Amino acid sequence: MSEVHAEVTQWNRRDFPTAAREVLQNSQTRKNVKHATNVIQAKRNAVVAELPDWEDLREAGAQVKAHTLHHLDHYLMQFEDNCTRAGGNVHWASDAAEANRIILRLVQQHQAKEVIKIKTMTSEEVGLNAHLEANGVRPIETDLAELIVQLGKDRPSHFVAPALHMNRHQVREMFQREMELPDLGDRPEDLATAARSYLREKFLRVKVAISGGNFLIADSGGICITESEGNGRMCLTLPDVLISIVGIEKVIPSYRDLDIFLQTLPRSATGERMNPYNSTWCGVHPGDGPKEFHVVLLDNGRSPILADKEARQTLQCIRCAACLNSCPVYHQTGGHAYESVYAGPIGAILTPQLHSMEEGRSLPYASSLCGACYEVCPVKINIPEVLIHLRGKVVREDQGTFAGKFSLWNIGMQTAAFLFQDADRLAMAERFGQIGQKPLVSKDGFIEWLPLMLDGWTQSRDLKAMPAQSFRDWWAKERAPHSDNSHDDGKGSDA
């Protein structure tokens, strides 16, 4: 069977500051994102506050994930054995191309021209839809928000609520156009009814479904998916063939561990105590559900992350998107500015690592390191710590190039590091600063324009000028001579 290679979706073409600048011009998108994230975050905070053992659940989730990642080979093999025994077929895909090839071949074996899909970020990651389309197979998204994104030829901006950047008026317009329903109203029930009629016919007709997976359960070979709409349940049970594409980091040791995650995931993701639909299945059962079941276990850059002790925790992620909803940067930009399937704080650490730091190099800097993401993370990924670790990698790599070594940033930072190792140097630099700033200081003691990259500050902010006397000079002049406890044991420069 033939295979045509699709053009890869163009993510990561622009750096974050450039893409963000464009989004910041779009006041409607910003309003939608701010409203939606505020609503989800408030719901999340309320249902999390109900649980007295929330911190213990976070810790337990983090430990289960860390343990599993430490023994990933063992648990994946166990999953494969048990899934195969239950009648499933396990495929291993080392990268996106291999995953696409495996899935296309399975679809072609069943002469399917259409497939229905449950929202799966992993299929977004490998660019599956484009690959299927290039080979004459039409993928139909059945998650309402994914359907909105697909019909609107848009990109997802949030991995729990992919159409979070749109409001219902925008959705109505798009449905009117794409579903040819000129009289469609914009009440939520109008939109839901339109989507339901559109999708029901597909559920009953299409024979192949593609899903992702929230959890691979090693000791039974089962898969668990949580969702809110029930459209996923339709895909999992009605078609003859089910293909699930799941990242290798999604494995957990035992069904018992769901006890933790089925509490933390829905509360973190949608602010629900429990997801309306929690589907767990294991292999195939005659007369019940799909006749054929395949799992594609996807690596696609995950193994190298495992090898990095500092960054390994990235793979603990259960894709709840609480870090997006809590992130003040995401609140301003939404997901598209990240130019990546995975947006927000987790995207800022995951994307560059999945691409071996070749793409998304600006993403580790797309954070003020405020720590809100770490505070809400249900598996305790210390995202700020990983961001700094990745910044360290970017800096080291840049310093290895001529342009990077002689960049203003590097020269400035090296100079500052030299000054900060010795108080006399620092004091002299302060005096230079006090004098050197004079041409820039306005009458009331503020700097309104700065040169080079520093103009980023003054585009929206004034800067208080340095006062004529530093604290250390004040102390030396006013206090040190009279003080009987000044520190004078000669602990001087150690440079």
Partner 1 sequence: MLVSLFITCYNDALFPETGKSVVNVLERLGHRIEFRPEQTCCGQMHWNTGYLREAVPIIRHFVRVYRDAETVVVPSSSCVAMMRDHYVKAAEMDGDTGLAAEIETLLPRVYEFSEFLVRKLGVEDVGASYPLKVTYHASCHSMRSLHLGDIPIRLLRNVRGLELQPIQNMQECCGFGGTFSIKNADVSSAMLADKVRNVLETGAEVCTAVDNSCLMHLYGSLHRQGTSVRTAHLAEILAATDGARA
Residues 154-193 that bind partner 1 (CB under 8 A): none
Q: How many CB atoms lie within 10 A of CB 89?
A: 15
User: What would the two tokens of residue 24 be?
Assistant: 């910041």
- Interaction of residue 21 with partner 1, rule CB under 8 A: yes
Binding residue for partner 1, selected from 130, 357, 388, 441, defined by CB under 8 A: 388
Q: Which is nearer to partner 1, 186 or 462 (CB)?
A: 462
Which residues inside 405-424 make contact with partner 1, applying CB under 8 A?
A: 413-414, 416-417, 419-423
- Interaction of residue 464 with partner 1, rule CB under 8 A: yes
Which residues inside 330-349 make contact with partner 1, applying CB under 8 A?
A: 331-333
Stretch that binds partner 1, among 13-21, 65-73, 133-141, 174-182 (CB under 8 A): 13-21
Evaluate whether 193 touches 372 at the Cβ level (below 8 Å).
Answer: no
Which string of x and - marks every residue 441-460 that binds partner 1 (by CB under 8 A)?
Answer: -----x-x----xx-xx-xx
Residue ranges of alpha helices (H) inside 179-244 are 188-205, 231-237
Binding residue for partner 1, selected from 395, 404, 407, 440, defined by CB under 8 A: 395
Stretch that binds partner 1, among 66-74, 83-91, 213-221, 324-332 (CB under 8 A): 324-332
User: What would the two tokens of residue 390 be?
Assistant: 């990745």
Q: How far is the CB of 375 from partner 1 (least distance, A)?
A: 5
- The Cα–Cα gap between 434 and 437 comes to 6
Binding residue for partner 1, selected from 181, 370, 440, 441, defined by CB under 8 A: 370
User: What would the two tokens of residue 240 be?
Assistant: 């003859």
- Interaction of residue 328 with partner 1, rule CB under 8 A: yes
Binding residue for partner 1, selected from 2, 10, 111, 485, defined by CB under 8 A: 485
Evaluate whether 27 touches 34 at the Cβ level (below 8 Å).
Answer: no
- Interaction of residue 494 with partner 1, rule CB under 8 A: yes
- Interaction of residue 329 with partner 1, rule CB under 8 A: yes
Q: Residue 136 region, left (φ>0) first, then alpha (ψ -120 to 50), else beta?
A: left
CA distances from 328 to 333, 362, 382 (A): 9, 17, 17
Q: Which is nearer to partner 1, 151 or 390 (CB)?
A: 390
Instruction: Single out the residue of 23, 13, 206 nearest to residue 113, CA to CA.
Output: 206
Residues in the interface with partner 1 (CB under 8 A) total 74
Q: How far is the CB of 480 from partner 1 (least distance, A)?
A: 7
Triad 109, 110, 112: Cα angle to 5°:
115
CA dihedral 300, 302, 308, 314 (to 10 degrees): 130
Binding residue for partner 1, selected from 20, 106, 184, 306, defined by CB under 8 A: 20
Which residues inside 256-315 make contact with partner 1, applying CB under 8 A?
A: none
* Strands 222-227 vs 215-217: parallel, antiparallel or unpaired: antiparallel
Which residues inside 202-231 make contact with partner 1, applying CB under 8 A?
A: none
- Interaction of residue 130 with partner 1, rule CB under 8 A: no
Exposed/middle/buried for 270, CB within 10 Å: 0-12, 13-18, 19+? buried
- Interaction of residue 369 with partner 1, rule CB under 8 A: yes
Stretch that binds partner 1, among 3-11, 196-204, 266-274, 468-476 (CB under 8 A): 468-476
- The Cα–Cα gap between 34 and 157 comes to 13
Exposed/middle/buried for 226, CB within 10 Å: 0-12, 13-18, 19+? buried
Q: How far is the CB of 114 from partner 1 (least distance, A)?
A: 41
What single letter denotes the amino acid at residue 129? Answer: N
Q: How far is the CB of 316 from partner 1 (least distance, A)?
A: 19
Stretch that binds partner 1, among 102-110, 184-192, 263-271, 393-401 (CB under 8 A): 393-401
- The Cα–Cα gap between 238 and 233 comes to 8
Q: Which is nearer to partner 1, 276 or 392 (CB)?
A: 392
Instruction: Single out the residue of 425, 412, 414, 416 nearest to residue 472, CA to CA.
Output: 425
Signed CA dihedral, 295, 299, 303, 309: sign only: negative
Q: How far is the CB of 34 from partner 1 (least distance, A)?
A: 9
- Interaction of residue 495 with partner 1, rule CB under 8 A: yes
Maximal CA-CA distance, the chain: 93
Q: How far is the CB of 156 from partner 1 (least distance, A)?
A: 20
Stretch that binds partner 1, among 102-110, 113-121, 141-149, 476-484 (CB under 8 A): 476-484
- Interaction of residue 27 with partner 1, rule CB under 8 A: no
Binding residue for partner 1, selected from 366, 377, 379, 381, defined by CB under 8 A: 366
- Interaction of residue 487 with partner 1, rule CB under 8 A: yes
- Interaction of residue 365 with partner 1, rule CB under 8 A: yes
Stretch that binds partner 1, among 116-124, 217-225, 229-237, 481-489 (CB under 8 A): 481-489
- The Cα–Cα gap between 114 and 202 comes to 9
Signed CA dihedral, 467, 471, 472, 473: sign only: positive
> How long a stretch of residues is the chain?
495
Stretch that binds partner 1, among 86-94, 100-108, 315-323, 368-376 (CB under 8 A): 368-376
Binding residue for partner 1, selected from 391, 404, 440, 441, defined by CB under 8 A: 391
Q: How far is the CB of 395 from partner 1 (least distance, A)?
A: 4
Q: Is 126 helix (H, G, I), strand (E, B) or coil?
A: helix
Q: Which is nearer to partner 1, 105 or 479 (CB)?
A: 479
CA distances from 70 to 50, 58, 238 (A): 32, 18, 37
Q: How many CB atoms lie within 10 A of CB 145?
A: 22
Instruction: Single out the residue of 297, 114, 299 nearest to residue 213, CA to CA.
Output: 297
